[in-house]
A and B are shown apart, each in its own frame.
Chain A
């Protein structure tokens, strides 16, 4: 499996995301913001950082990078896409996910290990967890407060599209303690905390982040097997 990791000017966590992909057992393919080519990858990760210096709004400029047009097309076609932190912000700006990430309610940058509860295992990035599972991964953001109108929040919860909630404290004021959401199809997921920083005992608070990366490998293996059975027409 080939998992693409996009580097924008100002990306910080592209190296860690690529490393997490390799630890999960896949090939990490580095993608460049100015190159619309996806180079045959099976899934794409938009990493954390401060793309384009967070000019205007976080993710607002990155959304128009040449690579994003290809990522948007691929996402609409069913390719798994994971946006972490700044990547989540980019996915919202690109309207691949609903809502927006705004300034932390208390105005402080938060950098700590954060407990989450996995609320949906039907997304392509969380199928290796169990529903209700508590995990611990780092969170680090200044603009991670998830907001959406009440109707959107109700729909996300009713449709099982809240992928993870903050527990034991909400680090940024996100509405309804939402930490991660998925699109309707479950192939696009945005998460504010950082699973890629929790894949090795030496540097992470746990190995809980690894599940996101092994999940997509399972989803891809399942869909290619399914595609063979169904004559290649899955998705």
Chain B
């Protein structure tokens, strides 16, 4: 088994109202040093065999991210000793 991680983020020019809401809440935690928060999505894809980055890229490009508003990056997760 292998795991590929897809990180999806809103493009920098797209407003992130959720991130802004989080940033605006931080002073209530006593945190005043944060200038910006942006929220994305991490997706873990497990392949039965070796990681297939081409397929992962296709999945990310066609489904996981909307290229109109989002960018994505793909990385292979370190092998884990699952049960």
Contact = CB atoms under 8 A, between A and B. Distances in A.
Interface in A172-213: 173
A60 B66 contact: yes
B66 to A, nearest CB: 6
Interface in B40-82: 63-64, 66, 68-69
B23 to A, nearest CB: 13
B63 A147 contact: no
Given A56-B63, A60-B63, A64-B63, A107 B17 contact: yes
A94 B65 CA distance: 13
Contacts, number: 33
A104 interface: yes
B15 interface: yes
B15 A105 contact: yes
A148 interface: yes
A46 to B, nearest CB: 17
Interface residues of A, number: 19
Contacts of A33: none
Contact of A102 (B13, B14, B63): B14
B21 interface: yes
Interface size class of B (residues with CB under 8 A): 10 to 19
Contacts of A149: 13
Contact of A104 (B14, B17, B63): B17
Interface of B: 13-15, 17-18, 21, 63-64, 66, 68-69
A99 B11 CA distance: 13
B18 to A, nearest CB: 7
B17 A105 contact: yes
Contacts of B63: 56, 60, 64
A190 to B, nearest CB: 13
A216 interface: no
B69 A107 contact: no
Contact of A92 (B14, B18, B68): B68
A56 B17 contact: no
A106 interface: yes
B14 A107 contact: no
